[in-house]
Chain A
Amino acid sequence: MDNCLRNQTAKIAVPKRRVVHERLPPRGRIAAMTGAKAIEAAEVTKSYGDVKALRGVNLEIAHGQCVALLGPNGAGKTVTTEIFEGYRKRDGGDVRVLGTDPNHGDRRWKSRLGIVLQDARDLTDLTVRESVTHFSSYYPNGRTSDDVIQAVGLVEKADAKAGQLSGGQRRRLDVALGIVGRPDVLFLDEPTTGFDPEARRQFWDLIDDLKEDGTTILLTTHYLDEAEHLADQVAVINRGRVLAVDSPDALGNRQKSQAVVQWLEDGVQKSASTATPTALVGELATRLGPEIPELAILRPTLEDVYLRLIADDGGDLNIPTVAGGGSRG
């Protein structure tokens, strides 16, 4: 059979081509960019010497949406994000952020963006409050430092210098500086690196609040649970290309038609992939008596789908192929 779950040798059959392009702007639409979306990107390419960092990235984000850019290290998440932010110049394709080409963004355009970069080691000699107050003054309608410090949960560390914060606290300062200007579009490049579980939950609440206010959010992450919790849409990116864009549910349930049934028969673990698990269980119940030993019915998780997408794309990721017991013919 052609399906699989974690810990199984079988191969998942993601209908790649069809999925990949269904929600993407068709080629040749570059000239037709309307600015109606918060972010539009068509066929964006970028190379560094021989390294093709982006090989035609397509992405659309509607106003007020939260999109998670999910992908392994080196997939092109940071390059994509920084092209949107105006830090890097694309080689080809077209980009509009809030209707403006990031290569030509002026002060007012920048005042509508919030940026949290992947790594920052600056501001070490200033206290959290000093930094937040200072950066707030850059914006026409900046938030008060108390609000922001409260929102990111740094109240106790408000008067500590950034150089003395832990990794997760330091990251929260970065997030604070990203939201201090009441951005319309917020970019977060791996914002929760180094967060403990509680800080992560708190961060999720903060993002929920920002979504409530109508902020458009593009965040990159390695954490699938984070993407699942926060994102309206998940864009899976690998080797410089967006492989799929879909809601976490749709992406996670892509294999909904197929479930895996596991059971124990004659002391051997067995499993089978089927579109009709109920029928199979009924059949097993008849054959193996009223209680089927160690019965389990599993659906693929977002992680399964994600890992499979990456693996099918020929990424560097090694999918563990643990032989998970016998399988039914």
Chain B
Amino acid sequence: MAEATAPTSNPKATLRMPTTLALGWRRTRIELRQFFRDKESAFFTFALPMFLMIIFGSVFNTEIAPGVTFAQYFVAGMIASGVVYTGFQNLAITIPQERDDGTLKRLQGTPMPKASYFIGKIGLVLVAYVAQVILLGIIGVLFFKLELPTEASKWLTFAWVSVLGLLCCTLLGLAFSSVPKSGRGAPAIVSPVVLVLQFTSGVFFVFSQLPVWMQHLASLFPLKWLVQGMQSVFLPESFASQTTGTDSWQLGQVALVLGIWTIGGLAVALLTFRWQSRSR
């Protein structure tokens, strides 16, 4: 056995490597399986927004504009928040945990490409988001007189705002996953970021009633624009002026700001994403 001669050519060189996409699909499935089996993460992703929805919706069920109750307003904000929860918050918390428990280190040592791992995360985020939206939609319709839009154009808006927002937040989540030093400390760093954005972007309060400087500040970040996009789908046209100060929902600007953050998130994620936490 010892001193066997070196094979001159590698017999495995002709075997075909699995494609990045095929492995991305496999990653998606395994990510979903793990996500839904982890009771804690499933609870916080689905139950928490639901509770918030029911509590806020019931306590502040007053009209804030002709034909618009706060509950309806809040549903749109929570669906926008769902994009941030499932994309940004979920990844920015779980990836540092995966870095700590050796998940990422194990993956790094396999021939699975990084891109497949990212595809898996995007797949996970997409499914978790759809499930969350359906849940919030049902609660909104059943308890808070949420009116689902009937025009196809509104659903089209809903689709592109969701997809662009998810892409943006997923990349930002990947980028932000390098910030927490440990998996244990990740929630304490990530959750406040989301909470502050929710307060300033018009999720918990009517945006037009916030101080002007706060409105300006929130306009720098994606959540405000996500909320605006969702309001354009679920609230009447007449409400646009409340949020934008103009007659229109400014969807072009929504796309622009989300697009810029998406590109920025992609650049930072590519530059800073690390498989391992400790210095090597």
Is A226 in the interface zone, CB < 8 Å from B?
no
Contact residues of A between 272 and 320, Cβ < 8 Å to B: none
If A108-B17, A126-B34 touch, does A232 touch B2 (CB 8 Å cutoff)?
Answer: yes
The complex places the Cα of A119 from the Cα of B101 at a distance, in Å, of 9
A140, B5: Cα distance in complex, Å: 24
B18 at the A interface (CB under 8 A):
yes
Given contacts A88-B280, A107-B111, A130-B33, whether A141 and B2 have CB atoms under 8 Å apart is no
| B106 adjacent to A120 (CB under 8 Å) | yes
Which residues of B sit under 8 angstroms from A52, Cβ to Cβ? none
Closest to A135 in B: B110
What 6 additional pairs, Cβ within 8 angstroms, besides A62-B2, A184-B10? Answer: A63-B4, A98-B10, A107-B113, A120-B105, A177-B106, A211-B1
A232 to chain B, nearest CB (A): 5
Q: Are A125 and B109 in contact (CB under 8 A)?
A: no
A21 within 8 A of B: no
- Which residues of chain A have C-beta atoms less than 8 A from B112's C-beta? 138
Q: Is the CB of A63 within 8 A of B5?
A: yes
What residues of A have a CB within 8 angstroms of the CB of B22 in the complex?
A: 137
Could you tell me the distance between the alpha carbons of A62 and B33 in the complex, rounded to whole angstroms? 42
Whether the pair A121, B10 counts as a contact (CB closer than 8 A) is: no
> Which of B37, B105, B276, B279 is A125 in contact with, Cβ under 8 Å?
B37
Within 8 Å CB of A177, what residues of B? 106
- Among residues 103 to 117 in chain A, which have CB atoms less than 8 Å away from a CB atom of chain B? 107-108, 110-113, 115, 117
Check A125 against B34 for contact (C-beta < 8 Å): yes
Chain A residues positioned under 8 Å from B15 (CB to CB): 140-141
Q: Cβ of A87 < 8 Å from any Cβ of B?
A: yes
B279 adjacent to A48 (CB under 8 Å): yes
Chain A neighbourhood of B272, CB < 8 A: none
Q: Which residues of A contact B (CB under 8 A)?
A: 35-38, 48, 62-65, 82, 85-89, 98, 107-108, 110-113, 115, 117, 119-126, 130, 134-135, 137-141, 177, 181, 184, 211-212, 214, 232-233
Given the known inter-chain contacts A87-B109, A130-B33, please indicate yes or no for A137 contacting B18, CB distance below 8 A.
yes
Bound complex: CA A35 to CA B103 (Å): 31
Find A65's partner among B3, B7, B105 (CB 8 Å cutoff): B3
A85 touches B2 (CB 8 A): no
**Max count, chain B CB within 10 A of own CB: residue among A63, A88, A98, A119:** A63
Which of A65, A139, A233 contacts B111 (CB under 8 A)?
A139
Against A, the Cβ 8 Å flags (1 = close, 0 = not) of B1-43 are 1111111001011011110001100100010011001100000
Interface of B is mostly: loop
Give min CB distance, B49 to chain A, whole Å.
22
Q: Give every chain A residue within 8 A of B98 (Cβ-Cβ).
A: 122
Question: In angstroms, how far is the closest chain A Cβ from the Cβ of B195?
Answer: 28
Give 12 CB contacts A-B under 8 Å. A63-B4, A110-B111, A112-B12, A121-B101, A122-B103, A122-B106, A123-B106, A124-B101, A125-B37, A138-B111, A138-B112, A184-B12
Residues in A neighbouring B4, C-beta threshold 8 A? 62-65, 214
Q: How far is the CB of A313 from chain B (nearest CB, A)?
A: 26
Residues on A with C-beta less than 8 A from B244 are none
Contact mask for chain B residues 105-133; partner A; CB cutoff 8 A; 1 contact, 0 none: 11011111100000000000000000000
Nearest CB in chain A: distance from B116 CB, A = 9
Q: Min CB distance, A34 to chain B, in Å?
A: 9
Residues of B within 8 A of A98 (CB): 10
Query: Which chain A residue shows the least CB distance to B97?
Result: A122
Q: Shortest distance in angstroms between B57's beta carbon and chain A's nearest beta carbon?
A: 33
> In the complex the two chains form, what is the Cα distance from A124 to B101 in whole Å?
10
Complex contact B280–A117 (CB within 8 A):
no
Question: Is B149 an interface residue, CB under 8 A from the partner?
Answer: no
